[in-house]
Homo-oligomer: A and B are copies of this chain.
């Protein structure tokens, strides 16, 4: 039976208490999943607040059944209206839509994404602009049929910048072209390998927030048709919290 496996790794830039990227995964109301990845302009708490705001509006609309391309435009219009073209963010929506049997990437992001499939690596680098800056921004939409062996690699631009400070390059295309994994869990294997490589090039001090998403279509026998999810997050006190942030009991 075919499964969709999604693996996410996410690190803040060196010295920052939290990543300015926001990533959410939700179940689509018609069946399937959507991953929303937002990189807010700037850094620190301001970037985080912005990316959280954008991601929140996007997932609310997706959960209500709105189409991905419409969501990307509506979220852009919202940001453009309320921040008057002064704030930008990148927005990627990766959807696995069981109703149409397809995988869809809606991209408002100059950073590309990659499609791996049967020994082939495809770079999707079509010109795309972030949301928030100019009127009527649209996403670039790529649709692919779900088939065994398909892998999508999507990320924020922090990954591309790894090693830049030391004059070395991720050479992501070459790396992916040479990637072979015999793992039962290819999505996690690839996401971890990419993080390790980025960390090596940045000598463990990334200059920007890095978020990596790998989605893989995997054949696997599963006796119970179970859905599974695991999340692991380091517990840390957010320093720049609101003054009354420590008093959150909802009663």
Question: Which residues of chain A have a CB within 8 Å of any CB of chain B?
Answer: 1-12, 18-19, 22-27, 29-33, 49, 52, 55-56, 59-60, 63-64, 67-72, 96-102, 104, 106, 139, 141, 143, 146, 185, 187-188, 195, 199, 204, 217, 222-238, 241-242, 245-251
Return chain B residues, CB-CB under 8 Å to A30: 238, 241-242, 245, 248
Q: Which of B9, B19, B69 contacts A250 (CB 8 A)?
A: B69
Can you list 11 A-B pairs with a CB-CB distance of less than 8 A?
A5-B230, A6-B232, A7-B229, A23-B229, A30-B238, A59-B59, A59-B63, A69-B250, A72-B250, A228-B233, A229-B232
Q: Indicate if the CB atoms of A104 and B249 lie closer than 8 Å.
A: yes
Residue of B nearest to A22 (CB): B27
State the oligomeric state as a number of copies.
2
Q: In the complex where A234-B3, A234-B222, A251-B69 touch, is A27 in contact with B52 (Cβ < 8 A)?
A: yes
Complex: A106 Cα to B250 Cα, angstroms: 9
- Contacts of A10 on B, CB cut-off 8 Å? 226-228
CB-based nearest B residue for A2: B235
Q: Does the CB pair B11–A224 fall under 8 Å?
A: yes
